[in-house]
Structure 1
Amino acid sequence: MQENTEGEAHAAKQRLIKKYPNRRLYDTKTSSYITLAEVKQLVMDSEDVVIRDAKTNEELTRSILLQIILEEEAGGAPMFSEAMLANIIRFYGHAMQGFMGTYIEKNVQMFTDLQTQLSGQSQAAAPEAWKQFMSMQPPAMQAMMGNYMEQSQTVLTQMQEQMQKQTEQMLGVFGIKR
């Protein structure tokens, strides 16, 4: 019963966008049609957005977010190199696909947390003081980046340990022991 209440509370917080067959997006909160750029702004504003097909109620959030990324990538200053995209493609269908997605997600979250921490520190100081801090305190910056790298290594180690356990379990099913 508790899970259902939590799920309903989460659904109430989500901003529902309906996609109609004419490819238009309808924001149910504002009762108006919106553009893909406006959906992007909602995401940038940390709104919890869910996009559903108006007829079938099929979840379309991932495909719309991927469409936004595609437009951003084509817009001039891409974030992903061709080599990185090729490597991501190579993980589809690979046994490591689930692990890689989790690894990337955790690393992006850690990087976002680091960025938030830096942003918070920069807002607390006057621009000149922040500039002086950045030029005089490379050890502090190195410590923060070192912490990020350490967390990234921890996530990778956890992923490797999980893979090893799953491999041992799978081999155990076949009667093979290491």
Structure 2
Amino acid sequence: MPENTPGTATASERVVKKYPNRRLYDTQTSAYITLAEVKALVMQNEPIVVKDAKTGEDLTRSILLQIILDEEAGGAPMFTEAMLVNIIRFYGHAMQGFMGSYLERNVQMFTEMQGRFSEQMKGASPDMWRNFLGMQMPAMPPVPGMPDMAGGNYQAQSQQFFQQMQEQMQKQTEQMLTAFGIKRP
């Protein structure tokens, strides 16, 4: 979602108003919607802003956090307890702003990688997907920035690729921590 002044929406954003009775009103469709429908809008890459119907306060972050909380409670959590503990520890810490931007950049990088992979796999037949999921790799053209899956050596290439990515992230983290005088235990 593009950054804007809290409580205001750009012309391209869909405005959802939250009323005191906790109901959400989609101003584009002139209908009440559920939190699941807000999630569906997010999943469709629909830019939204959620505003308090009475005060105009921007409530987008709290609604998005509520969706994440519901998803985490739903049975297949993305965040481990250890990760959540570490995130909490960064609040109020001098590194809080840097950690937020670090996580944002890494999630963006992962999203772009996943997008490139999905784009490459658009024309894949069900048999190709079955082979892919069974680790019997079909002959497909390489995806830029991803291991060559046509070479028959996918597991080794994939392992090397993710090891390099992990090493790069570790180096970036160590550089960031060193810049702030924090030494690794």
Same fold (TM over 0.5): yes
By how many angstroms is 1:163 displaced? 4.8
CA displacement 1:70-101 (0-9 Å, x = unmatched): 11111111111111111110000000100101
Q: How does 1:23-172 map to 2 (within 5 A)?
A: 23-129=22-128, 131=131, 132-133=137-138, 134=149, 136=152, 137-138=154-155, 141-142=158-159, 145=162, 148-149=165-166, 152=169, 156=173, 159=176, 163=180
Residue 55 of structure 1 aligns to which amino acid in structure 2? K
Q: How high is the sequence identity, in percent, across the aligned residues?
A: 60
For residue 13 of structure 1, what is the aligned residue in structure 2? 12
By how many angstroms is 1:152 displaced? 3.6
More divergent stretch after superposition (88-97 vs 111-120): 111-120
SS at match of 1:69: helix
CA contact (8 A) 1:103 1:159 kept: no
Residue 100 of structure 1 aligns to which amino acid in structure 2? M
More divergent stretch after superposition (77-86 vs 137-146): 137-146
Q: What RMSD, in angstroms, separates the aligned Cα atoms of the two structures?
A: 2.9
Q: CA 1:147–1:126 in 2, change beyond 3 Å: closer, same or farther?
A: farther
Aligned length: 159
More divergent stretch after superposition (133-142 vs 82-91): 133-142
Q: CA 1:155–1:113 in 2, change beyond 3 Å: closer, same or farther?
A: farther
By how many angstroms is 1:38 displaced? 0.3
Residue 52 of structure 2 aligns to which amino acid in structure 1? D
**Higher RCO (CA < 8 A, seq sep 6+):** 1
Q: Which runs of 5+ in 2 are unaligned?
A: 132-136, 139-148
Matches of 2:88 and 2:179 in 1, distance apart? 22
TM-score (norm 1): 0.75
- Report the structure, 1 or 2, having the larger helix content: 1
Q: CA 1:77–1:66 in 2, change beyond 3 Å: closer, same or farther?
A: same
Matches of 1:47 and 1:143 in 2, distance apart? 36
TM-score (norm 2): 0.73
Matches of 1:96 and 1:122 in 2, distance apart? 39
Matches of 2:30 and 2:73 in 1, distance apart? 30
Q: CA 1:70–1:61 in 2, change beyond 3 Å: closer, same or farther?
A: same
Q: CA 1:15–1:87 in 2, change beyond 3 Å: closer, same or farther?
A: same
CA contact (8 A) 1:106 1:155 kept: no
Residue 58 of structure 2 aligns to which amino acid in structure 1? E
CA contact (8 A) 1:110 1:148 kept: no
Q: Which runs of 5+ in 1 are unaligned?
A: 1-6, 165-178
